[in-house]
Chain A
Amino acid sequence: MALAVQLLWPDSGKHPPADKPYCAYALGICLVFFLLRPLIFLGRAETLARLREKDLFTAAAFLLLALLDIGTAKATVLPTLFFPTPDRVLSVLAEDFRYLIIDCLGSSAKLLLAGFFSGALAGLATGIFIGFSKNAAYWLNPLIKFLGPIPPTAWIPIVLVAFPTTWTGAVFLIALSVWFPTSVMTSSGILNVQNAYFEVSSTLGARRVYQVFMVGIPAAMPLIFTGLFSGACASFLTLMTAEMIGVKNGIGWYIHWQRQMLSYANVYAGLIVIAITFYSLITLFFRVRDRVLVWQKGMIKW
């Protein structure tokens, strides 16, 4: 942890300086946090213990940051254009915060959520239909097998002309990228449910519709979540591409735009925002899944 302080010393001066030494601020806050940590978590021994376990990793991360700082600001061995100092990246994050988070991220989030949920719903619906109806399987399976593997971004030229606004087009693309894995996994999950479970439920007096919702879908949940997960990953990819090519708004577009302006500090800032956002979304996703699939605890390791 003390390594962090060391960063504050020499500066080579080849980089345009940031307005304020944000890096020093951030490191200072971190240092204070780590120094005060035993006090902060005074009453919560196990939380502290959990944090302690990660100490080695944290130390390595700070070391890497220090190396980066040396490579850019201090010794300047890396090309200055593509490798801005951590100071400048942080200063973009701090100064452009409102714009980055509220405008860009907000617009991306709207697009992503609209696309993800419509795609997931459509995928669940087709998956359930295929899983339970021979007719639906007959008509929809070839369609899915044929259209599904096309990367959604390959549709961009068509979508751009076929949809009234680029925004709806982008929603469609994201939905498409979620729809394919979700429907495939849902239907295969349902088709792989042991028939015995349906038999048991029918001897207990369950009718067809009840079986669909109370046996087929719960039993298929693990695979449905696998499908939703691949869908989520695909949707991130599609979101970025759609923004860079069509939508002209959002965090992906921001990165694209700043790259063209050669302001790489902003590009890195954008990447950091994306990383944190997607990390949080995936974590949230796993939380939800663990909640739904409690019954698998101990049966399957994640």
Chain B
Amino acid sequence: MTQESQAPPEAGGPASPAAGPAAGGGAPPAGAGPPIPAAGAGAGSGAIEIRGASKSFPHPDGSEVPALSRVNLSVGAGEFITLIGPSGCGKSTLLRLIAGLERATSGSLFLDGRPIEGPGAERGLVFQNPYLFPWLNIHGNVAFGIKARRRWREEKGLVGQYLELVGLGRFGKVFPHHLSGGMAQRASLARALINRPLVLLLDEPLGALDAFTRMNMQDEILRIREEKRVTMIMVTHDVDEAIYLSDRIVVMTAGPGRVETVIPVPFARPRARNIPDFLRLRGKILEILNFAGRLEEPAYQI
């Protein structure tokens, strides 16, 4: 798979083998149905390499609280990864490290072989909260990235396009506090997409949506990924969603947060949600999560 060629040379350093399947070049999405877009289309291609990344936060009493411990993961260009795990296991923290909003306490992260040192428009992040800018209307919010990169004259036509894409074509003039939770999340998705990032980091982007809209948006996200060839790393609490969307599922456990195992999803797309293989895989993941013992979700067995 192409991600190996993009990953930085193995330094062999502190990257611990402890994380099991997550270590090293990562298990390629064996037999993943659709071809993963070839790397090297364009300047960058969006491969992420995480080596022994740990993050701890200062505790008010002066000690350090570990949030992430020695995470190893490589994500191929154009790959779809979901992070799943109990609350507080460091999923958001991992995304923030990749986005460059936090610096790893130890270990390192690379995008296409270059170390990640800060936030940048080539790594879009859709936050757990939409955080739309309340002083801008929806059009202004979606246009923000274009203006911030000083590409307004060239790219202003995109705003309407991306509003349409998330089904908010008629809401450009509306201010954020008039939107429902789901609409706000879609607007924030459009705001991140309009920069056409190489990597899109999604922190429970569909959490506030009803089941029906949610399924529509899942298909929409897959379509966007096919069309724009974006690497996607998405946090979700929904096992079905993870199986439906991703090439590989990264199961994390808490205390401190680490990668428990990485499960490839070998089904061809478009995927049916109720084939026996699908249900069997779901059972397996729930078992792992249940074994880790921290998922609040009812662990119904198949």
Chain A residues engaging chain B, CB cutoff 8 angstroms: 194, 196-197, 199-207, 210, 214-215, 218-219, 221, 294-299
Closest Cβ neighbor of A195 among chain B residues: B101
If over half of A's interface residues share one DSSP class (helix, strand or loop), that class is named, otherwise mixed; here it is: helix
Known: A194-B131, A196-B127, A205-B120. 6 other contacts (CB 8 A): A203-B101, A206-B144, A210-B148, A219-B135, A294-B175, A299-B134
If over half of B's interface residues share one DSSP class (helix, strand or loop), that class is named, otherwise mixed; here it is: loop
Q: Does B278 contact A (CB under 8 A)?
A: no
Closest Cβ neighbor of A292 among chain B residues: B135
Contact status B144-A203, CB under 8 Å = no
User: In the complex, which residues of chain B have a beta carbon less than 8 angstroms from the beta carbon of A207?
Assistant: 148
Bound CA span A166–B166, Å = 62
User: In the complex, which residues of chain B have a beta carbon less than 8 angstroms from the beta carbon of A196?
Assistant: 127, 129, 131
Contact status B133-A204, CB under 8 Å = no
Give 6 closest A-B pairs by Cβ, nearest first: A205-B121, A206-B148, A204-B145, A202-B119, A218-B135, A203-B125
Bound CA span A203–B131, Å = 12
Contact status B127-A200, CB under 8 Å = yes
User: In the complex, which residues of chain B have a beta carbon less than 8 angstroms from the beta carbon of A197?
Assistant: 131, 133
Bound CA span A200–B123, Å = 11
Closest Cβ neighbor of B178 among chain A residues: A298
User: In the complex, which residues of chain A have a beta carbon less than 8 angstroms from the beta carbon of B176?
Assistant: 295
Q: Does B137 contact A (CB under 8 A)?
A: yes
Q: How far is the CB of B268 from chain A (nearest CB, A)?
A: 33
Closest Cβ neighbor of B121 among chain A residues: A205
Q: Does B185 contact A (CB under 8 A)?
A: no
Counting chain A CB atoms within 10 Å of each CB, the highest count among B100, B119, B177 belongs to B119
Bound CA span A299–B134, Å = 10
19 residue pairs from A and B, CB less than 8 Å apart? A199-B101, A200-B125, A200-B127, A200-B131, A201-B133, A201-B144, A203-B125, A203-B192, A204-B121, A204-B149, A205-B120, A206-B144, A214-B147, A214-B148, A218-B133, A218-B135, A295-B176, A295-B177, A298-B177
Q: How far is the CB of A209 from chain B (nearest CB, A)?
A: 11
Q: Does B99 contact A (CB under 8 A)?
A: yes
Q: Does B27 contact A (CB under 8 A)?
A: no
User: In the complex, which residues of chain B have a beta carbon less than 8 angstroms from the beta carbon of A201?
Assistant: 133, 144, 148
Proximity string of chain B (142-164) to chain A, C-beta cutoff 8 Å, 1 when within and 0 when not: 00110111000000000000000
Bound CA span A197–B191, Å = 13
